[in-house]
Amino acid sequence: MTKPKNLTAEALEELKPMKNGELLDTKVTIDTVKYEQPPEKHWILRRLYFLNWLKTYDRETAIADLIAGITLGLTIIPQSIAYAALAGLSSEYGLYSAIIGKVFYALFGTIPQVSIGPTSLMSLMVLQFVGERPMQFVVVLAFLAGLVELLMGVFQLGFVVNFIPTPVTKAFTSATAVIVAAVQFKNLLGLKGKGVPSIGELFKRIHYSDAILGLICLVVLLLLRQLAHINFKKNTPNTRRLKKFLWYVSISRNALVVFICSTITYFWVKNRSLEAIPYTLTAKVTSAQLTFSLPPFAFDYKNTTLVFTDIIHELGAGIAVVPIVAILANVAIAKAFVKDNRLDASQEMLTLGICNIAGSFFNCMPTCGAFTRSAVSQASGVRTPLSGIYTAILVYLALSVLTPYFGYIPRSSIAALLIIAVVFMIDFSPIKELWRTNKKDFFSWVGCFIVCLAAGVEVGLLFGIVLNMIFVLLRLGNPKVEVTLMECENRNYIFVSPTSDVYYSGVEYIRDKINDACLLYRDDFPVVLDCRRFMQFDATFVDVISAVAKELRERDVLLVLFGISEESQQLMHKSENINYCEGDRICSDDLSPKKQ
Amino acid sequence: MTKPKNLTAEALEELKPMKNGELLDTKVTIDTVKYEQPPEKHWILRRLYFLNWLKTYDRETAIADLIAGITLGLTIIPQSIAYAALAGLSSEYGLYSAIIGKVFYALFGTIPQVSIGPTSLMSLMVLQFVGERPMQFVVVLAFLAGLVELLMGVFQLGFVVNFIPTPVTKAFTSATAVIVAAVQFKNLLGLKGKGVPSIGELFKRIHYSDAILGLICLVVLLLLRQLAHINFKKNTPNTRRLKKFLWYVSISRNALVVFICSTITYFWVKNRSLEAIPYTLTAKVTSAQLTFSLPPFAFDYKNTTLVFTDIIHELGAGIAVVPIVAILANVAIAKAFVKDNRLDASQEMLTLGICNIAGSFFNCMPTCGAFTRSAVSQASGVRTPLSGIYTAILVYLALSVLTPYFGYIPRSSIAALLIIAVVFMIDFSPIKELWRTNKKDFFSWVGCFIVCLAAGVEVGLLFGIVLNMIFVLLRLGNPKVEVTLMECENRNYIFVSPTSDVYYSGVEYIRDKINDACLLYRDDFPVVLDCRRFMQFDATFVDVISAVAKELRERDVLLVLFGISEESQQLMHKSENINYCEGDRICSDDLSPKKQ
C-alpha cells in the first residue's frame, strides 16, 4: 500500500539519489552565490519572542489585543480566585499567579491564545502533592517545576510534541471543551447540590434567577457573535466603517456582556442592598500587594527547620509529575490553537519554566496554560501575546484600586461567556471521517476522548500518546519481508529482503522467515540476508543472527549477509557460519563458504 | 552506516525483487512437487508439549531428569515454605503451589529449566494486593491472574518477548543472580539481625557454626562441579565408565551435599537432641493433604457475603498487575535459559495461565517461574520439563509420608547450593564490550542492572524494555532525509526523499526539511516529496502535508507528491496546493500545476 512495487529499472535509475550539488556543477547552470545557506534567525529573536511582535505592532493590532486583554481579565479574575480556592489557598495567590504568568508569557511566548496562569489541573496537583502543608511548599513546588520545565526547554526537548498525533490533539480539545461546557452549564443554571441530576431533579435544583440571567447572556452573546458576519449589499465608506464597528462590538461581546451585567448589579446594590441581588455573584476579590521575595528555600515547619533538601524530599514525585503534566497540557493546548501546526515547543517549555520560576519570587502557585482562557482569547480576536500585558494591568488594578468593583460580576454571565467560547471547539466530525480513512486514528480519537472524560484530560492525553506509540512499536515488531528464490550464474539462492526498516524488535521475526524459507526449500540453497534495512547493528541483532547461523550450520545451509558495512562486520561473533557479500552485488563466489 | 549508498544501477537491477515463483517457472528447473509448503506442526504437538519430549524419552534422559528433579525438590521445599511465610500464609500452601506448578508445567511447558512455583516476586504481590485479608482472596487472585495469562497466550501475545533486547535480558539475569547470591550469602554465614553490616560488625554478627558448615558445602560443591571436566589420558571402556560415573556424581552434587548434611543432622539428633544442633535448620514441614475444590467465588468476610464481583473489586489493580509481572519475569527467565534464543512465548503464557488456574482448584497461591530454581535445574543437568514430575512426587512425599525427615536440612547447605547455582550467571563482560560496540546497548545494560538492584528486578526489567522503546521512538522522530536538486527535461525540482521509514512522529521533521530547502533555493523550484517511505497515510500525515501545501502556496511554490497510491490520494484534503505524480517516474508535466 505504501509504495508502488512495479517500479521499472529505468524509473529506479531516474530516482537514484544524486549527491547534493553534483548537478549544480554540471547540468544546471545556477548562480551558486545566490544559493548560499541563508543566515539563521538570530537567537535573540527566537528567545525574546516579543521582539518579533513589536516590529509590526500597529494601532489595529493594539486595539484587538486590548479588547482581548480586557475580556480575558474579566475571565481570569474569577477563575484565578476559584482555582486558588481549589488548591486550598486564599484568593490573592491566584491573582498573583495570573499577573506573573501573563507578563512573562507576553515577553517569551509564541502563541497569542495561550494564557499562563492558575488552572484546575495545577490546583489538583498542588492539592495532591502539598495537601495540608503550608503555602511555602506551594511556592517551592512552583520554583522546582519551573526549573524542570526550563531545563527541558534548554535541552530542546520540544520534539516530544511530534509524538502527539493529530487525532489525539483533536480528541483532547473536544473532550476538554465538553468538560468545561458541562461544568459551566451547572454554573449557568445555578444548580444546587452535587452530582449529575436526573431530569426530574434538574428542575428542582435549578436556581431560576441565575438560569434566566445566564440564558439571556447566552442568547445575547450568540447574537453579538453573528454581528461580525453581517454583509452589506453596498460597499461605501460608510458601510465599511459600520462593518468595522460591528466587528469591534462582536469581538468585545464577552467584555461587554460582563460589564453590563456588573453595572446593573452595581446600581441595584447601590439602590437596594447586596442581599437583594437574586442571582449568585463570583467570589470577592481581597485587596493585596504583589511583593518580590526569594522563594522560601528554608523555613520552620512542625517545630523543625526544613532546608532545601528536606523540602525536595517532602515534595517527592511532585517535582517530576507537576512539570510533565504542565508541559503536556500546555503543548496540547498550544497545538490545538497554533496556526498551521507550526509550534516551537522548546520555546514554549522555556517560557513556561520562566513563568513558574519568576512566579516563585512573587508567592505564586504552579501555573500552566488553560484551555478555557485560550478559547476566550481566540473568540475575542487576540493578535499577539502582548495582549497579556493588558490583562495583567487589569488584574493588578483589581488587586489594588478597583477591588470593590470586582465584587459585582454575576457568576452565570461568566458561565455563559465560557460556554460560548468552548462550545464551538467541540467537534465530533472526526469520528465518522477517521472510521472511513484510518482505523488506527479512529481508535486514537475515541480512546483518548473517552479516557479524557472518564479519568481526566491529562490521563486521556497520555493515553492517546502511548496508544499511538504502541501502534508504531507493534508494527516494528512485524517488518515486511520478501523471500524470493533468485538465480545468479546458474546458482540458486534464497534472498531474504526486509522491505521496511528493521529495529531490534523485528529481528526475531526475520529469523522466523529465514527458517520458514529453509523449511520450504528443504535446506537446498544458501540464504542471502539483505541487511540494508537493518537500522541497528546492536547486541540483539548480533545474538539473533549468530543463533540463526548456528541453526543453519546444523542443517548445512550457508548464511550470507549482504549490504553490511565492514565496520559492522567487526561486531559479529567470529566463529559462526557467517559469510559476507563484499561487493555491491551478489555473485557466485559469495555463495560458497570463504576460506578463513 | 546502515547501507551502502554507492549501489550502481546494475546492482539495483540485480537486486530488484522478483515475484516469488516466477523464476521457478522459467529459468530454474526444479521439481515443484518437492517444494510444496511443508505441513505445519500439528497444534496438539504445539500445545500438549510433553508429547514432543515423550517421543525421544530414553533411559539416559530419564536419569538426568531424575537427578535434577530430586535436587530441585530439595531446593523447592524450603523455598516454598519461606515464600508462603513471606506472603503471610502457612507452609502447606507453598508446597501445594510447588506441586501443581511442577505437574502442569511438565505437561505444557517448553523449557526444561523453567520451574513454576512460589517466588519472592509473587509473595510480595500477594502481600501488596491481599495483605491481611483471608486465604480465599489469595486463591481467587491466583485464578484471575491465571485467566489473564491464559487469555494473553490464547491471543498469541507472545511477540512481546521480542521487545526485550538482549542486553536487557543479560542485565536482568546478572542483577537477579547478584541479589540471590547476596541474600543467600547472608543465610550461608547465618548473619543475625537485619540490614547490611559493616566489616567490623560482620564478624560480630556471623553465626560461626552456620558459616563453617556453609563454607564446607561451598568448597565441596565447587570441587564436585569440576569432576565432570576431568579428562583421562587413556580412552578405555573403564575410563569411559568412570567418566560417566563422575559426571553423574557431578550433576547430583547439590542433592548429594544436602542429603549428606541432612543425614548427619538426623543421626546427631537421634543420638543427642534437636537443641544440640549447632547450626540453623530450614523451617519444618507440616503434614497436609492436597485436596481438590472449586475456587471460593463467594464467601463470608467481615459479616457480609462477598460475591465474585465484590472480590474482583477488592483485588482491584492486582488482577492486571500480578499476571503482567508474572509474565514479564517468566519470559525474561525463559529467555535467559532458552537454547539459541528460540522461545514460544505464547505457549509459555498459556502454560503459566493453566498452572495458576489449576492451582486455584487446589488452594494454591499465584505462581511463576523462579530464577534460582532455573539455575539449580540448569546446574543439575535437567533435560526436559518432565523432570518436574519427579520434583512433584518428592514434594508430595514430603507433605505425606516423609514429613519428619524434611526437618533436618541445614539452612546453610541450601544457601551454598543456591550461591553456586547463580554465581556463574553473574557476567560483567557486557559492560566493556557494549561500550565499545554500541552505546545504546551499554546504557540499556547499565541502566537495567542498576534499577534492578535499586528498585527490584521487575521494575528494572520494565525500565530496560521502556528505555529501548524510547530509543527507537526517538529515532523515528528524526528520519533520514535526502534533499537533492534534480533536473528533468531542463526543468529543475527539489527532490525531498526520506531514506528511512517515516511514521507519524517523523512527518513534522520532513516539513522542516522542506521549508529549509525552499529557504535555501529561494522558492525558485517546485518541491517533489517522495512518499514511498511513509508507512502511515493517517490524519497526522494529511494534516501536516496540507499545512505544508498551504505554506508553499503562499510562497508560490508547487508541491508534488510522488509515489502515493490513488487510494491514499483520496484521503488528502481537496482544495490544497497538492499535485500528484501519477506515473512511475517524475516527468516535466508533473512539475506544472494540474488543471482541475
Higher confidence at residue A383 or residue A195? A383
Q: Cα-atom radius of gyration of chain A, to the nearest Å?
A: 32
Calculate how close chain B gets to A338, using CA atoms only, in Å: 12
Residue A2 has pLDDT above 60, yes or no: no
Chain B neighbors of A522, CB-CB under 8 A? 34-35
Residue B121 to residue B133: CA distance in whole angstroms: 19
With cut-offs at 50, 70 and 90, classify the pLDDT of residue A349.
Answer: very high
With cut-offs at 50, 70 and 90, classify the pLDDT of residue A517.
Answer: confident
pLDDT, mean of residues A321-331: 90
8 A C-beta contact, residue A221 and residue A261: no
Between positions 499 and 518 of A, the ones with CB within 8 A of B are: 499-501, 503-509
8 A C-beta contact, residue B190 and residue B207: yes
Residue A62 to residue B538: CA distance in whole angstroms: 40
Minimum Cα–Cα distance from B541: chain A residue:
A166
Residue B4 has pLDDT above 70, yes or no: no
Count of CB atoms within 10 A of residue A190's CB?
22
Chain A neighbors of B494, CB-CB under 8 A? none
**pLDDT value for A348:** 93
- Per-residue pLDDT tens digits for A223-240: 998 888 888 888 888 888
**pLDDT value for A254:** 87
- Per-residue pLDDT tens digits for B236-269: 888 888 888 888 888 888 889 999 999 999 998 8
A34 — alpha (psi -120 to 50), left (phi > 0) or beta?
A: alpha
Give, rounded to a whole angstrom, the gap between the first and last alpha carbons of chain A. 44
Between positions 202 and 221 of A, the ones with CB within 8 A of B are: none
For residue B293, give the C-alpha cell: 475444590
Residue A176 to residue A596: CA distance in whole angstroms: 67
Of B4, B535, B544, the CB nearest to A341: B544
- Per-residue pLDDT tens digits for B383-415: 999 999 999 999 999 998 888 888 888 989 989
Residue A480 to residue A500: CA distance in whole angstroms: 6
Mean pLDDT of chain B: 85
- Per-residue pLDDT tens digits for B104-138: 999 999 999 999 999 988 998 898 888 888 899 99
Residue A200 has pLDDT above 90, yes or no: no
Interface mutation vs chain A, best among B30, B162, B470, B572, most A CBs within 10 Å:
B162
**pLDDT value for B23:** 34
8 A C-beta contact, residue B286 and residue B403: yes
**pLDDT value for A21:** 34
**pLDDT value for A33:** 52
Chain B neighbors of A24, CB-CB under 8 A? 485
Q: What percent of chain B has pLDDT over 70?
A: 91
Q: Taking CB atoms and an 8 Å limit, are B3 and A341 in contact across chains? A: no
- Per-residue pLDDT tens digits for B433-443: 899 888 899 99
Residue B253 to residue B224: CA distance in whole angstroms: 6
Residue B144 to residue B178: CA distance in whole angstroms: 32
Q: Taking CB atoms and an 8 Å limit, are A509 and B162 in contact across chains? A: yes
With cut-offs at 50, 70 and 90, classify the pLDDT of residue B13.
Answer: very low
Between positions 479 and 498 of B, the ones with CB within 8 A of A are: 482-488, 492, 495, 497
Chain A neighbors of B476, CB-CB under 8 A? 472
Comparing C-alpha atoms, which of A464, A436, A412, A424 is closest to residue A167?
Answer: A464
Minimum Cα–Cα distance from B496: chain A residue:
A17
Residue A42 DSSP class: P
B423 — alpha (psi -120 to 50), left (phi > 0) or beta?
A: alpha
A177: enclosing H helix or E strand:
helix A166-189
- Per-residue pLDDT tens digits for B468-519: 988 888 888 888 998 888 877 778 888 899 988 999 889 988 988 898 888 8
Q: Taking CB atoms and an 8 Å limit, are A18 and B519 in contact across chains? A: no
Residue B36 has phi, psi (to 5 degrees) of: -75, 150
Which stretches does DSSP call E strand in B407-530? 481-488, 491-498, 527-530
Highest-pLDDT range among A324-333, A353-362, B452-461: A353-362
Q: Which of A215-219, B447-451, B572-576 has the lowest mean pLDDT?
A: B572-576
For residue B307, give the C-alpha cell: 460475591
DSSP-derived pairing of the beta strands A116-117 and B116-117: unpaired
DSSP-derived pairing of the beta strands B299-301 and B304-306: antiparallel
Between positions 220 and 259 of A, the ones with CB within 8 A of B are: none
- Long-range contacts at A445-454 (CB < 8 A, ≥ 24 apart): A445/A167, A445/A168, A445/A170, A445/A171, A446/A171, A447/A171, A448/A167, A448/A168, A448/A171, A448/A172, A448/A175, A449/A171, A449/A174, A449/A175, A452/A171, A452/A172, A452/A175, A452/A176, A452/A179, A453/A175, A453/A178, A453/A179
**pLDDT value for B18:** 41
Count of CB atoms within 10 A of residue B459's CB?
14
Q: Taking CB atoms and an 8 Å limit, are B14 and A586 in contact across chains? A: yes
Chain A neighbors of B440, CB-CB under 8 A? 536, 538
Model ipTM over 0.85: no
Between positions 445 and 474 of A, the ones with CB within 8 A of B are: 468-469, 472-473
Calculate how close chain A gets to B38, using CA atoms only, in Å: 6
Of A30, A571, A584, the CB nearest to B7: A584
- Per-residue pLDDT tens digits for A393-420: 999 999 988 888 888 889 899 899 889 8
Minimum Cα–Cα distance from B519: chain A residue:
A38
Q: Taking CB atoms and an 8 Å limit, are A534 and B2 in contact across chains? A: yes
Residue B565 to residue B423: CA distance in whole angstroms: 58
Q: Taking CB atoms and an 8 Å limit, are B536 and A477 in contact across chains? A: no
Of B1, B10, B342, the CB nearest to A565: B1
Chain B neighbors of A427, CB-CB under 8 A? none
**pLDDT value for A16:** 41
Residue B591 has pLDDT above 70, yes or no: yes
Q: Which domains does chain B have, with CATH numbers?
A: 50-144+194-315+360-423 (no CATH), 429-476 (no CATH), 478-591 (3.30.750.24)
Burial of residue B247, with CB atoms counted within 10 A of its CB: 0-12 exposed, 13-18 middle, 19 or more buried = middle
Residue A369 has pLDDT above 80, yes or no: yes
Comparing C-alpha atoms, which of A51, A21, A78, A58 is closest to residue A406?
Answer: A78
Q: Taking CB atoms and an 8 Å limit, are A9 and B17 in contact across chains? A: no
8 A C-beta contact, residue B519 and residue A34: no
- Per-residue pLDDT tens digits for B175-233: 988 988 888 888 898 887 777 777 777 788 888 889 999 999 999 999 998 888 888 88
pLDDT, mean of residues A324-328: 90
Residue A176 to residue A453: CA distance in whole angstroms: 8
Residue A179 to residue A85: CA distance in whole angstroms: 20
**pLDDT value for A34:** 58
Of B10, B21, B532, the CB nearest to A3: B532
Q: Taking CB atoms and an 8 Å limit, are B535 and A500 in contact across chains? A: yes
H helical segments located in A407-487: 411-423, 429-437, 439-455, 457-477
Calculate how close chain A gets to B594, using CA atoms only, in Å: 22
B394: enclosing H helix or E strand:
helix B387-399
Residue A596 has pLDDT above 50, yes or no: no
Interface mutation vs chain A, best among B344, B476, B494, B521, most A CBs within 10 Å:
B476
Can you give the pTM of this predicted structure? 0.78
Q: Taking CB atoms and an 8 Å limit, are B539 and A507 in contact across chains? A: no
Chain A neighbors of B538, CB-CB under 8 A? 165-167, 437-438, 440-441
Q: At what angle do helices A371-379 and A318-337 cross, to 10 degrees?
A: 20
Residue B483 to residue A23: CA distance in whole angstroms: 13
8 A C-beta contact, residue A348 and residue A137: no
To the nearest 5 percent, what fractions of chain A are helix, strand and coil?
60, 5, 30
Calculate how close chain B gets to A419, using CA atoms only, in Å: 28
Chain B neighbors of A482, CB-CB under 8 A? 17, 20
Question: How many contacts, defined by CB atoms under 8 Å, are there between A and B?
Answer: 263
Q: Is B29 an 8 Å CB contact of chain A?
A: no
Residue B304 has phi, psi (to 5 degrees) of: -125, 155
C-alpha angle with apex A359: A353 to A363, nearest 5 degrees?
Answer: 145
3-state SS string over B125-157?
HHHHHCCCCCHHHHHHHHHHHHHHHHHHHHCCH
Of A14, A35, A487, the CB nearest to B585: A14
Minimum Cα–Cα distance from A20: chain B residue:
B484
Calculate how close chain A gets to B30, using CA atoms only, in Å: 10
Between positions 536 and 595 of A, the ones with CB within 8 A of B are: 536-540, 542-544, 547, 550-551, 563, 565, 567-568, 571, 584-586
CA A110 to chain centre: 14
Q: Taking CB atoms and an 8 Å limit, are A440 and B537 in contact across chains? A: no
pLDDT, mean of residues B521-528: 85
**pLDDT value for A450:** 95
pLDDT, mean of residues A144-154: 94
Residue B445 has pLDDT above 80, yes or no: yes
Q: Taking CB atoms and an 8 Å limit, are A3 and B563 in contact across chains? A: yes
Calculate how close chain A gets to B442, using CA atoms only, in Å: 9
- Per-residue pLDDT tens digits for A256-314: 999 999 999 999 888 888 777 888 888 888 888 889 999 998 888 888 888 898 898 88
Entry field: residues in chain A: 596
Q: Is B440 an 8 Å CB contact of chain A?
A: yes
**pLDDT value for B95:** 93
Q: Which residues contact B293 (CB under 8 A, 6 or more apart)?
A: B361, B362, B363
Between positions 417 and 436 of A, the ones with CB within 8 A of B are: 430, 434
For residue A391, give the C-alpha cell: 490583562
Of B23, B486, B550, the CB nearest to A18: B486
Residue B17 has pLDDT above 50, yes or no: no
